[in-house]
Structure 1
Amino acid sequence: MTATTASRTALEIEARPPHTLLALAEGRAVLELAAFYATRHLLGLLPKGDGHPVLVLPGFMASDGSTQPMRKLLKDLGYDAYGWKLGRNVRVDLQRVHEMEHLLLDIFKQTGRKVSIVGWSLGGVFARELAKLHPDAVRQVISLGSPIHDDRRHTNASRLFEMLNGKEPEPVKHGHFTGLDQAPPVPTTSILTRTDGIVHWRGSVQHPDKGSLQTENIEVHASHCGLGVNPSVMIALADRLKQAEGEWKPFKPRLSQRWMFPQSRLH
């Protein structure tokens, strides 16, 4: 058995949702929101962007309201940040996929520039799949605590998701949203936390043998519900987005920032 095969087998065996205690601790996201606003002035001093469009997709059951602080920061950093304007992220059907495709392509055509897509949780799954459908319109993808594997046992939200969308959502029946662990053919970053109480961190790990070679994982100290406001996530986002198009390199935090980004191996 090769090392790659062994790692895949281990991943399948260990597919499970986060521990109940981690789920109960998700309330700490309130502290992360407080930290976001306490450091908001300093976050505004992060490297400025080149003005390219950034589409931000919310997580399961969430709306643009959840991503408003992040988008406001991105605008202050010089990006042309967009919400998805599609209400709550609940249904996964062909109509929703088509709506997201039209949104992405409209931004691409209106701005004349490739779009970076930031997706939180289920929004990150959508971001990756949109990049697979329209790679020529996407500059890079950044997912936050997203369940990027086909096995839904990685998430505590699987029962609710299947209650609302069925065990085989409409797009899956039409050949979409399968092979979620295969990265799109654009630079792709997965930001994850080992203390995620909704999606087990193993379910967010990208493996380099799956799709694009321009893939990476960035580990942070955060809750799942706080990923969209956690200051360390904002630092990583700003670093990833400021890279010149076509010059993507893996994330390397500054010496003063390394305490925010654990360097542990992600198997």
Structure 2
Amino acid sequence: MPKQNALAATLQAPPLGLLFTEPVRALLDFCAAHVSVTPRQRGDGHPVIVYPGLGGGALSTVVLRNFLRDRGFAVQDWGGGLNTGPDGELDEWLGDLVARVRELHARTGRKVSLVGWSLGGVYAREVAKLCPEAVRQVVTLGTPFGAMQDANHAGTIYRLLGGDTSQLTPEMQARLRECPPVPTTSVYSRTDGLVCWRGCLQDEGDCVQNIEVNASHLGMGSHADVMRIVLDRLAQPENKWKPYRKIRRATARRPSTRSRAR
């Protein structure tokens, strides 16, 4: 089988069973986050912009933004209102997002971290490519930058909402797969009901990592594990990025039979 055909065979939209259970699983993710243990990590006050997914606005990311704000980051909504997709030519449309990052960088004297959920993650990655000097790192949540055309239900929803997919030429899709020249983390879930999880994977390197969670797509912004990962990534000292390592709870060792006999 040719390489391209083999790749296409792995990039398939999630089963309909996962799609139909998304709302219920997202609600469970939200409830579980409110009974989880509060992480001890703190931020250093640097600016963070959070980009919502398709069809989402400021309200959709409020849980994540409040979580990060309470832990010491200067968090902002993306300021674009409801995310209905790019309006017109992509680079021209991205201009306002790039200008905001540069202005925030100039005003605070701090590089800006970008967190993007689903389609918002595409914006975060592309903005970082256009102004890497102003970006500290990028974290994406369920962002299928490697499968933006047909291998996800989000693309179907986008077309139903009247979105223009004519820009998704092979050249554009290849561009979207390219990693930004800044530390980049992609959080993905094999139980994502909207996007192909394989499309969220990037080639790992010195400052590039994929991290798997067990979450719904709609619940990623309020999932306890996801929020811990985002906090951990953002809390790293600038220019000292290291791969994420899951903290395992220590288990008490039971005394051996020999020890108990003595």
Q: Which TM-score band (shorter chain)? A: 0.7 to 0.9
1:246 counterpart = 2:235: no
1:92 is aligned, of 86, 92, 97, to: 86
- Which runs of 4 or more aligned residues in structure 1 lie more than 6 Å from their structure 2 counterparts after TM superposition? none
Cα pair 1:154 1:202 within 8 Å, conserved: no
Contiguous gaps of at least 5 residues in structure 2: 251-262
1:21 counterpart = 2:17: yes
Cα pair 1:46 1:235 within 8 Å, conserved: no
- Closer/same/farther in 2, CA of residues 176 and 115 from structure 1, 3 Å limit: farther
Q: What percent of counterpart residues are identical?
A: 39
Q: CA deviation at 1:50?
A: 0.8
- Look up the match of 2:166: 168
- Look up the match of 2:56: 62
1:143 counterpart = 2:136: no
Distance in 2 (alpha carbons) for counterparts of 1:126 and 1:65: 18
- Closer/same/farther in 2, CA of residues 19 and 150 from structure 1, 3 Å limit: closer
Q: CA deviation at 1:167?
A: 2.3
Q: CA deviation at 1:176?
A: 6.4
What letter is aligned with 1:129?
E
Q: CA deviation at 1:152?
A: 1.6
What letter is aligned with 2:209?
E
Aligned pairs (5 A) from 1:79-118: 79-93=73-87, 94=89, 96-118=93-115
- Look up the match of 1:256: 249
**Secondary structure at 1:38's aligned position in 2?**
coil
1:183 is aligned, of 179, 194, 206, to: 179
- Look up the match of 1:262: none
What letter is aligned with 1:165?
G
Aligned pairs (5 A) from 1:31-46: 31-39=28-36, 42-43=37-38, 45-46=39-40
**Secondary structure at 1:162's aligned position in 2?**
helix
RMSD: 2.2
The TM-score, its normalising length taken from structure 1, stands at 0.85
**Secondary structure at 1:218's aligned position in 2?**
strand
What letter is aligned with 2:19?
A
- Look up the match of 2:218: 225
Q: CA deviation at 1:198?
A: 0.4
- Closer/same/farther in 2, CA of residues 82 and 243 from structure 1, 3 Å limit: same
Cα pair 1:187 1:214 within 8 Å, conserved: yes
Distance in 2 (alpha carbons) for counterparts of 1:234 and 1:91: 25
Q: CA deviation at 1:157?
A: 1.8
Cα pair 1:11 1:202 within 8 Å, conserved: no
Instruction: Tell me the number of residue pairs that the alignment of Structure 1 and Structure 2 aligns.
Output: 244
Q: CA deviation at 1:196?
A: 0.1
What letter is aligned with 2:130?
L
Q: CA deviation at 1:230?
A: 0.3
Cα pair 1:128 1:184 within 8 Å, conserved: yes
Distance in 1 (alpha carbons) for counterparts of 2:219 and 2:226: 9
What letter is aligned with 1:105?
R
What letter is aligned with 1:167?
T
Distance in 1 (alpha carbons) for counterparts of 2:203 and 2:41: 29
Tell me which structure has the larger Cα radius of gyration: 2
The TM-score, its normalising length taken from structure 2, stands at 0.86
Distance in 1 (alpha carbons) for counterparts of 2:5 and 2:72: 44
Contiguous gaps of at least 5 residues in structure 1: 258-267
